Structures are given as structure tokens and as C-alpha cells.
Amino acid sequence: MLYHHKESRGKANPVKLLILGGTIFLGRALTLAALEQGHEVTLFTRGQHNPDLFPDTEKLIGDRDGNLTALAGGRRWDAVIDTCGYVPRIVRQSAELLNVFANHYTFISSISVYSDVSSPGVNEDGATGVLEDPTTEKIDGATYGPLKVLCEQEALNAFSGRCLVIRPGLIVGPHDPSDRFTYWPLRAFHGGEILTPANHAAPVQIIDVRDLAEWTIRMVEAGVTGVYNATGPDYTMTLGEMLQACIDSANGPNDAQLVPIDEAWLTENEVQPWLDVPTWVPDTGDYAGFSRVDCSRAITKGLTFRPIREIAADTLAWAQTREDNSKLKAGLTPEREEELLSRWHKSRI
């Protein structure tokens, strides 16, 4: 263990921590959480994103794919957190190099590693995806999960008995570059009729980036090893509850009205789950368990979750500081949503 007593957390006994990628979203939140606990943080980045963040924190500049020189200078760290490993070859290079310079390695993976989510309750022992071509480095919807599986194996092999693997679900909150949750607080803020799938009882699993980061730092402090699913909350949250929280947290016109639309109709009109309607995954068939992953192992290790209304409010407040929210990376455009709502209403006449 890196820490023997809870009281030793903080500046009295800081962990020397190396974060691979520490300026974007989860990496940013991890860096902030570690610094708030008084840890000594070094960031390894390409220096291309948010270079002015954390001005008093040591930054090593390089590239995981071909330029690891800055990590090979004889420096030692108590622990490494790898936030940006997607290709097994690249994870292997950094993990094998750091094996002699660090005591503990945390690899951030994904619940997308599971090959079968047709039933609720998938836990860390569930079957994981296998690539037809294990040498591929093409990252897409079909390969992302299986590539993460191979990345996990590389980290576990390099740090045998000293590796923590965390499998988050959909990470949300301030500074999320994907807009996969941000779409909803912003949409609620703008008000009016809001297109939603009809099944508001469908489960939704998300985790605020700050909750994930704070828990990860605690796990690293304790030197925990093994594999943990990490999404939430610790109860069954429904799509309707999440949407209502976004409306309740909005500071807009206050005329938002949810319009539940038959899911078969949405499919017929080429509305894509997850992409066009973020967080929505049909609660049937091959994906019946996608939003019912078992995270009890992480919860017993202290993973906690802030209220969904707080997440929605904080996400909206951050999103409103951005210069341009007119072209989100996820969700329906206003024009497309208006077209679909008009078509839906006409179909009901």
C-alpha cells in the first residue's frame, strides 16, 4: 500500500504520481484531485491541449507513440495513471518502460470491453471482446472495446500484481469534450418541445468525472490492484429521472416539455440511439444489460456518486462558458429535431 492510514493522506505524505495525459477531461480531473490531496504530480503530454493548465505542475513533453525519451531519464514515481491507452502496442511500450521506474500502474479502460451485455448484471468476470485481427490498430465502434481488452492485458503483464484496471461507463460532467451528456442540460435550457424515446423507465448509467477521479486517486493512494467496473449511480436511475433533473437544473425559459416518441418510430426515421439521442440505448435484445452493469465491487471500495441534479447543473454552468454551443458533437441538431417532432405530430393525427 502507498498509504497505511487514512490520516496520512495529503501533504504530510504525498504520492509521487505520473499521469499519462493529464489536461483533457478525466486526466484534468485526476490531476486536480491529486493536487487537492497534496500529491506530487508529473504530467506526460504532447503539449497540444490546454498547455496553460496547472502552471506549477511538472510537465514532460513527448508522444507515447515513438517519443518516450522524457520518461526514461531515471526518474521514479510511486504510481502511474494511464488515461489515454487505446492501442495495445503503445500501452506495452509505456508500461514496460515504466515498470522499472514506478511501483503501481492504473489503466483506465471501459465497460465497452464486455462482449455480451444482453443480460443485466455484467460484472468484472464477464466475457470480453476478441478481435478477429489482433494486430489491427484501427479504432472504431467494433474494435474499441476489444482493443481496450488487449491494452488491459499489456498493463497487467508489465505490472504483474501491481496493476489496477478501472472500467468506467459513460463519463460526464464539466469539460466533457464528447457532448454525450452535455446535450441534455443545454437542450433543457433552450426549452420548448424536447424529443425523447418513449421508454422513460429505461435505465441510464453515467458517472461524473469528478467522482471517478476522486475515487481513482483514493484507490491509487491505497495501492489497490485488480479490475473494477466504475459507473453509476448506486441505484437504478431512469432516463425520465435524468431528463427531469436536466429540466429542473436549467436556468432557461422554463417551458421545456418532454415529448415521448415510440422507439420503433424513431428507428424507422433513422434516429440513432446514443449518437442522435445521447445516453439512450434500447433496453432490449443485445443491449438489455448495457445500462445495468454491476459496479458493486467498486462501491464496496468507496466509489460514491453526486446527485444527478448537481451533475446537470454543473455541466450546464460549464457549457454556458463555451464560446459556441451551436454545433455539438452528439445529439440532434435543432433543425433535425424540429423536423422529427413535426413529422411525429402529423403521424398522430
pLDDT, residue 13, reads: 77
Does residue 156 sit within a domain?
Answer: yes
Does residue 216 sit within a domain?
Answer: yes
CA distances for 121 relative to 124, 229, 300, angstroms? 10, 11, 16
Does residue 88 sit within a domain?
Answer: yes
Does residue 314 sit within a domain?
Answer: no
pLDDT, residue 1, reads: 41
- How many residues does this entry show for the chain? 349
pLDDT, residue 47, reads: 87
pLDDT, residue 6, reads: 36
Backbone angles phi, psi at 170, to 5 degrees: -70, 115
Grid cell of 163 as nine digits = 496493476
Count of other CB atoms within 10 angstroms of residue 63:
15
Burial class (CB in 10 A: 0-12, 13-18, 19+), 347: exposed
Average pLDDT, the chain: 94
pLDDT, residue 297, reads: 98
Range list of β-strands (E), 170-211: 170-172, 193-197, 206-208
pLDDT, residue 10, reads: 44
Yes or no: say if 178 and 330 are a contact pair by the CB < 8 Å rule.
Answer: yes
pLDDT, residue 48, reads: 87
Pairing of strands 163-168, 170-172: unpaired
Domain count for the chain, please give it.
1
Distance CA 91, CA 287 (A): 29
Does residue 128 sit within a domain?
Answer: yes
Where in the sequence is the domain holding 115, given as residue range(s)? 6-172+205-230
Q: What is the CA radius of gyration of the chain?
A: 21
CATH value at residue 103: 3.40.50.720
Does residue 298 sit within a domain?
Answer: no
Q: Which segments of the chain does DSSP mark as H helices, in order? A: 26-36, 88-98, 144-158, 183-190, 209-221, 239-249, 263-268, 296-300, 308-319, 334-347
Does residue 275 sit within a domain?
Answer: no
Residue 259: its H or E element: strand 257-261
Q: Which parts of the chain sit beneath pLDDT 70?
A: 1-12
Does residue 346 sit within a domain?
Answer: no
Specify whether the backbone of 175 is left (phi greater than 0), alpha (psi in -120 to 50) or beta.
Answer: left
